[in-house]
């Protein structure tokens, strides 16, 4: 099988945080059925622990609501772009800069 390069795949958590036009694109690693809802920023990777189960979109809805609450934005400003049935998700956030995002996620 020599001669065929393997395609490089990047996990959501390796994509980190980037600004794209008027929105922020954030990679999130989700752990459903956690004891409590929590968000942490580990370098450029956002980790989310959610009490909701990964059933019928409950964890996705909980993630979007938790992000909106922590970032002090309306729920409509946070949308799921990719990863509906995966732990690795890509989220778009309208109306916030990368610096403000980091500050609010860190508790500021």
Query: 17 in a domain, yes or no?
Result: yes
Residue 82: which domain range? 13-105
What CATH number did the domain enclosing 39 receive? 3.30.1200.10
Is 15 buried (19+), middle (13-18) or exposed (0-12) by CB count in 10 A? middle
**pLDDT, average across residues 27-48:** 95
Q: Could you tell me the pTM of the whole model?
A: 0.85
Query: 54 in a domain, yes or no?
Result: yes
Write out the two tokens for 32. Answer: 């459903």
pLDDT of residue 21: 86
Task: State the total domains in the chain.
Answer: 1
Question: pLDDT by residue (tens digit) across 60-93?
Answer: 999 999 999 999 999 999 999 999 999 999 999 9
**In contact, 41 and 106? CB cutoff 8 Å:** yes
**pLDDT, average across residues 45-49:** 96
pLDDT of residue 52: 97
Three-class DSSP category at 61: helix
- Residue 99's pLDDT band, with cuts at 50, 70 and 90, is very high
Question: pLDDT by residue (tens digit) across 3-36?
Answer: 554 444 445 445 799 998 889 999 999 999 999 9
74-to-8, 18, 94 alpha-carbon distances in Å: 36, 20, 10
pLDDT of residue 80: 98
Strands 88-94 and 38-42 turn out to be unpaired
Query: 61 in a domain, yes or no?
Result: yes
- Report phi then psi at 73, rounded to 5: -125, 160
C-alpha torsion 94→74→16→37, nearest 10: 180
Query: 8 in a domain, yes or no?
Result: no
Query: 29 in a domain, yes or no?
Result: yes
Query: 2 in a domain, yes or no?
Result: no
Query: 3 in a domain, yes or no?
Result: no
100 pLDDT more than 50? yes
């Amino acid at each position: 099988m020599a001669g065929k390069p393997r395609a490089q795949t990047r996990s959501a958590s390796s994509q980190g945080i980037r600004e794209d036009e008027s929105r922020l694109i954030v990679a999130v690693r989700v752990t459903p059925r956690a004891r409590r809802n929590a968000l942490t920023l580990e370098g450029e990777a956002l980790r989310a622990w959610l009490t909701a189960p990964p059933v019928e979109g409950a964890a996705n809805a909980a993630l979007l609501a938790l992000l909106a609450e922590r970032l002090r934005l309306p729920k409509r400003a946070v949308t799921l772009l990719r990863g509906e049935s995966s732990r690795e998700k890509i989220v778009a956030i309208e109306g916030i800069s990368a610096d403000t995002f980091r500050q609010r996620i860190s508790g500021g």
